[in-house]
Amino acid sequence: MTFDLQHTAPGTRARAGLIMTDHGPIETPIFMPVGTVGSVKGIFHRDLKNEAGAQIILANTYHLYLRPGTTILEQAGGIHRFSAWDRPVLTDSGGFQVFSLEANRKITEEGCRFSSHIDGSKHLFTPENVIDTQRSIGADIMMAFDECPSGTAEYDYAAKSLALTNRWLERCFARYRQTQPKYGYYQSLFPIVQGCTYPDLREKSARFVQQFGADGYAIGGLAVGEPAETMYEMIEVVNAILPTDKPRYLMGVGTPVNLLEAIDRGVDMFDCVMPTRNGRNGMLFTSEGVINIKNLKWRDDFSPIDPMGHCFVDTAYSKAYLRHLVIAGEMLAAQIASLHNVAFYLWLVAEARRHILDGSFAEWKPVMIERLSRRL
């Protein structure tokens, strides 16, 4: 994998770049739709590519490990063939998922023992077998196994957690270097910077991960309960230390405003379930603000969902029709809303890239943030 840093916007740390993988290019800044079990809920791959313009999707190690399992994935020839997705894939290590099962997991030096949310069966994730599992899945970009503590964790716990994450990271890279891809194409491994909301721990982590000479670096453990301004502060601390010639991935973030603020601070890659999850519940993101399509005011509004008309569904469906589908409980409502939101997120990062390249990002961003913050 290679990364070409093409331009940095004047007066900011916002960057435009190009990641090259064996499954194709990724123009940054980029948003990765979340395809947890190998699918983005309610959206055909055809529409992800042709209508939304997705260049890469995320899949989750925890979920794919439990179902369908690595045997099926290997028999299929990896996640790309199994899911008929021919563009890049990134896999989360599953750390966030197993640590969210607080009542059903136990953390030790060895790894994390947990009970499946599906059938209660017992499992163990270690730095080594998480790398093995991601080799079997076949993602272009794999994530290291880490502990993801709460955003409100006490300092002593955060420090101990970071020390454990660092020891696990050494084991992840040892296993990564001992193994080879299974399907004939290159796989990268990104370390994850942790440290909660403590600047000294974030600095320590950002310096520690660089020793591995990775193809890119992730920032984890944010948007997990801390205020947005604290998140932005941690991003600034970390990105002041991480290499400028490697992509930076902010995990699990966030709202459209979060994306623009993080891009301004030098982040290149994002993922979040918000576009599809909120879409299924009737929340739509547009260039003029946020819409709750269930509200009565949209009942006889026959205008496009977004007045700028840049998203796939805008040319086909009105607010009134989508509201009708939502109220009627039609499956098509979730499909339209999910596709719209994913397409909007991808439009937004593409617009950010365009403004970075032409030098106008610093002027465009505050205008866009004001619009995105409205409740329509």
CA distance 283 to 274: 10
Which range has the worst mean pLDDT, 150-159, 202-211, 237-246, 321-330?
150-159
Tell me the β-bridge partners of 30.
269
The pLDDT-based confidence of 307 (bands split at 50, 70, 90) is confident
Catalytic residues: 92, 271
Provide the whole-model pTM.
0.96
Q: Which of 130, 141, 137, 248 has its CA nearest to residue 186? A: 141
Cβ(229)–Cβ(258) under 8 Å?
no
- Tens of pLDDT, residue by residue over 33-65, are 999 899 999 999 999 999 899 999 999 999 999
The pLDDT of 302-327, averaged and rounded, is: 81
Q: What is the pLDDT of residue 98?
A: 67
Write down the pLDDT at residue 56: 98
Task: State pLDDT tens for residues 215-272.
Answer: 999 999 898 888 999 999 999 999 999 999 999 999 999 999 999 999 999 999 999 9
Q: Which of 224-233, 325-334, 360-369 has the lowest mean pLDDT?
A: 224-233
**Residue 176 contacts by C-beta under 8 Å, 6 or more apart in sequence?**
131, 142, 189
| CB contact at 8 A, 198 and 155 | yes
pLDDT value of position 316: 73
Percent of the chain scoring above 90 in pLDDT: 87
pLDDT for residue 288: 93
pLDDT in tens, 280-305: 999 999 999 999 999 999 999 999 89
DSSP secondary structure letter of residue 34: B
Mean pLDDT along residues 8-27: 97
For residue 139, which phi and psi values (nearest 5 degrees)?
A: -70, 150
Q: What percent of the residues of the chain are helix, what percent strand, and what percent coil, each to the nearest 5?
A: 45, 20, 35
Lowest mean pLDDT among 91-100, 116-125, 133-142, 342-351: 91-100
CA distance 369 to 30: 18
Tell me the pLDDT tens digit for each residue of 78-125. 999 999 999 999 999 877 776 666 667 788 999 999 888 889 999 999
Residue 313: pLDDT over 60: no
Whole-number Å distance between alpha carbons of 136 and 149: 27
Can you give the pLDDT at residue 230? 95
Describe the strand order of the beta sheet including 269-272 as a list of residue ranges.
Answer: 30-33, 269-272, 248-250, 217-219, 192-193
Which position has the token pair 């997990």?
224
Residue type present at position 66? L
3-state class (DSSP) for residue 25: strand
